[in-house]
Structure 1
């Protein structure tokens, strides 16, 4: 059981596949294929992230391989055509890289991915050195928490906190991540709050609140 929100550090992949700025095109493609990843951070020095090369960056070479652009179209796609003619990571990468700190929350990571329309984020420390990588699938790991763990956390961090005098009259059941609260409590005004707080517990899919006030049905 945990009473602290999950952070990026809790779910990130710590073993990171990365390349150096001088990595050649074929080396990058081979690395991605061997490690079954769709993007790699580009690091220099003591692991400082300077960019990311994704499949989208590499596919530009194929897209413009036999397609000659006019001057206006070249200007419109200047960055893309430049990448299409490049063969080293430092020229192919998207830079600066969009990164996130290990202590960031999972909602922060999700919002950052959505805002930049990316599928993964390098996780870096205060100096910019890579610590791991977090992907969309990593953010879903919290939904794998056992139902018993979720029930214990909802009871401890929500029910016992809100209803110190009547918490023993409340039953918390969790089935496939869906929390059901039922029983009688003393303060009806806190019932909607209990449902809202239960929904904020990491890994909870939904909440059904059947709490009633003592002496009422």
Structure 2
């Protein structure tokens, strides 16, 4: 890594199965089952994402099977009628963190990735976003040294130890200014693939405050 964060384009799945608005109910169910996915993007005739059909959309038909009055979604028979619109999407240049926040806010498990004109470029799922945590420990340590230690402690970088095990970063050593320690922790936590940070940085060793009125040499006693 060069210090720039992972973006959706780095982790997304590029081969995506999508539906046209006229896709029939049973065909949608078969496709989801065959592809083992819980949702599919719906495209218009220009290839733009106009909605998403999820298992929840399909289950409304079963939910209201015996109801006297059913909502439109329960009577829907095509993707265009079933889909949730407008779709929640993300751009390929969005960071992995931004995509994760969009998923959490929207309560969805996957996001269509769209280009500038709304055309489908891929799809990103929760499992895709978790790929950053598979990053090699040595790679993480190298970036922490370069992007955190060498920037914050440029005068004494050799005095700071960086140890990474299973994504957990331990910072140890002595620093001149302890006010910078929280900044170092925060910057380290933001490095892609970091699971947690154990900051054991200490300030300079304390020097005894000697009373100037005392003699430098201890008094001899008989």
Q: TM-score, normalised by structure 1?
A: 0.90
What does residue 93 of structure 2 align with? 103
Question: Following TM superposition, by how much is the alpha carbon of 1:184 offset from its aligned partner in structure 2, in angstroms?
Answer: 2.2
Please identify, of 35-44 and 58-67, the stretch whose mean Cα deviation from structure 2 is larger.
Answer: 58-67
SS at match of 2:138: helix
Unaligned runs of 5+ in 2: 208-222
- Residues of 1 paired with 2:189 and 2:20: CA distance? 43
The structure whose residues are more often helix, as a share, is 1
- Residues of 1 paired with 2:97 and 2:206: CA distance? 38
Instruction: Indicate whether 1:93 and 2:76 are aligned.
Output: no
What does residue 31 of structure 2 align with? 31
What does residue 179 of structure 1 align with? 169
Larger radius of gyration: 2
Unaligned runs of 5+ in 1: 75-80
- Residues of 1 paired with 2:104 and 2:197: CA distance? 25
SS at match of 1:161: helix
Alignment of structure 1 residues 170-209 onto 2, 5 Å: 170-209=160-199
SS at match of 1:148: helix
Alignment of structure 1 residues 156-171 onto 2, 5 Å: 156-171=146-161
Question: Following TM superposition, by how much is the alpha carbon of 1:197 offset from its aligned partner in structure 2, in angstroms?
Answer: 0.7
- Residues of 2 paired with 1:128 and 1:216: CA distance? 61
Number of equivalent positions: 207
What does residue 73 of structure 2 align with? 83
What does residue 13 of structure 1 align with? 13
What does residue 77 of structure 1 align with? none
Question: Following TM superposition, by how much is the alpha carbon of 1:26 offset from its aligned partner in structure 2, in angstroms?
Answer: 0.9
Please identify, of 111-120 and 10-19, the stretch whose mean Cα deviation from structure 2 is larger.
Answer: 111-120
- Residues of 2 paired with 1:7 and 1:216: CA distance? 45
- Quick check: 1:166–1:184 contact (8 Å CA) kept in 2? no
1:143 pairs, out of 108, 120, 133, with: 133
